[in-house]
Structure 1
Amino acid sequence: MRHTVVEAQSSTADRPRPRRSSLERVHRLLSSFSYEHTQLSLSELSRRAGLPLSTTHRMVTEMLELGMLERDEDDLLCIGVDVWKFGLLTPKSYGIQRVALPFMQDLYATTGLPVHLGIPEDDQITIVESLRPRGSGPERPYIGQREPMHVVAVGMAMLAFSDPNFQERYLAALEGDRSADAPETIRRELAQTRATGFAVSQRKTAPKIAIGAPVLDRVGLPMGAISLVVPQGTATPPYGHLIRSTARAVQRTAWEQGMG
């Protein structure tokens, strides 16, 4: 028996590890940058990507030639303009962002309050547009920021109108949580969101209040959601109706332009 175990362990140790593809390594390098780390040295990039320094050096040299990476005035590495241009062509974000932006600008001009646009990404949301006063506080997400659906108003607005099976899987993943994020609490909030057409949340903005409304496709599933962040103590229904009307205007325009 011991001989068999040793043989099995030896076989496992001798088994070659799966080799990462070049594309995966490029993805790891690009994913190493963030809003907190926009410039990196070669060694920092190697460490954050989990790649050997020699491999990082070779790939960075080629990515610099292709415009995927650039060097700043301090000779640190940063994301290249070409990658930014590719990102602008993403239909899932660019289409809804292009349609929603004029309506968001009107809403911001009317209220002077932060306005955000999010899209669904599996069980998370990604912020793809944000208008807000300079110096906004913790309710100020950056473009590209991801959050679990249930912790932000745009996410709750989308989750409330998602496929019921998806909702149940999402809520099941929260089972055992005895905090304010317990499935029973979320379920009640989702029911209220469906009844009013807008979600109300303070999980990321407290003491301020975020109010979000979904932009639905022709089947009734969310393509995105718009939110407004209002001061503490504000009566939410008037702003809820305003954000819901804005989301529906975006929805109508998106349908007219063949989206959804």
Structure 2
Amino acid sequence: MTAITPAADVDDVETAAEGDVPRPRRSSLGRVHQLLSAFDYEHTTLTLSQLSRRAGLPLSTTHRMVAEMVELGMLERDRDNDISIGIAVWRFGLLTPKTYGVQRVALPFMQDLYATTGLPIHLGIQQREEVTVVESLRPRGGGAERPRIGQRDPLHEVAVGTAILAFTTPAFQEHYLHGLDQRGSTNPTSAALRRELARIRAEGYAVNTRRTAPRISIGAPVLDRRGRPLGALSIIVPAGTAETPYGHVIRNTARAVQRTAWEQGLG
């Protein structure tokens, strides 16, 4: 007797639009990640169709998953039925050991530095080849000033990132520098960045204007006992400001955070 093959679930193959090449279905967890990744600072609220398009998922799949994620508190709907990230996701994020421990230790020192200077102060954590801002203190009315909590940038693009990159393992640095050359002319060459990283290791702080120009971002690493980065602090100063005094200030603040982290068993 011939075996009967069950009909395929309509979501076993995903197509973004008629005529597209079918794509194998991602796991449920992968699709949850696609949905959550569709949101950013410029798209904090989305309609169902916008969410489907930005996540690259069929509308039927998006509709079904959104209904379940709303019930679980991972997504929320407003009075217009638009969708945003839910409180449950924020609560889970607060429990991340890699961010919570360093953020908890660093925050009092960041507050002291902010109270003294009145300038924006940030804390960043490495996430593969990017840095994520996990804490930010800034003057009221700062508006769209970079960076913002949750923002991610390539390590070489911002001071918190280059401060971290300078103290990663030689193997990781070589991998990153090779990838930088492969990505093209809009990035600094590996030779230029190699010189920059050597200067950061010698002076203990990074100076970067790639994303903050004309303002100057100055960052310093918070290291574990092996000399590897737990994160980095940065301060953003106005254009034309002398870099060295603020470099020493942010370096000393990062080292104070580092000592306290060690005393509390972090790193």
TM-score (norm 2): 0.87
The structure with the largest helix share of the pair is: 1
Aligned to 1:156: 162
Alignment of 1:6-21 (within 5 A): 18-21=24-27
Greater shift after overlay, 23-32 or 167-176? 167-176
Matched residue type, 1:164: P
Structure 1 gap ranges (5+)? 1-15
Distance 2:79 2:257 in 1: 41
Q: 1:167 aligns with which of 173, 178, 192?
A: 173
Determine if contact 2:180/2:187 at 8 Å carries over to the other structure.
Answer: no
Greater shift after overlay, 236-245 or 71-80? 71-80
Aligned to 1:217: 224
Deviation at 1:110, TM superposition (A): 0.4
Give per-residue Cα distances to partners, 1:158-205, cap 9 Å, x unaligned: 111111111111112222755671112111111111111001111111
TM-score (norm 1): 0.89
Determine if contact 1:132/1:140 at 8 Å carries over to the other structure.
Answer: no
Aligned to 1:128: 134
Distance 2:48 2:145 in 1: 33
- Identical pairs, percent: 70
Determine if contact 1:138/1:205 at 8 Å carries over to the other structure.
Answer: no
Distance 1:196 1:139 in 2: 27
Aligned to 1:83: 89
Structure 2 gap ranges (5+)? 1-21
Change (3 A) 1:83 1:180: closer
Greater shift after overlay, 170-179 or 38-47? 170-179
SS of 2:239 mapped into structure 1? coil
The CA RMSD measured in Å over matched residues stands at 1.7
Determine if contact 1:217/1:255 at 8 Å carries over to the other structure.
Answer: yes
Determine if contact 1:127/1:145 at 8 Å carries over to the other structure.
Answer: yes
Determine if contact 1:112/1:133 at 8 Å carries over to the other structure.
Answer: yes
Change (3 A) 1:254 1:80: same
Greater shift after overlay, 136-145 or 221-230? 136-145
Matched residue type, 2:70: L
Aligned to 2:105: 99
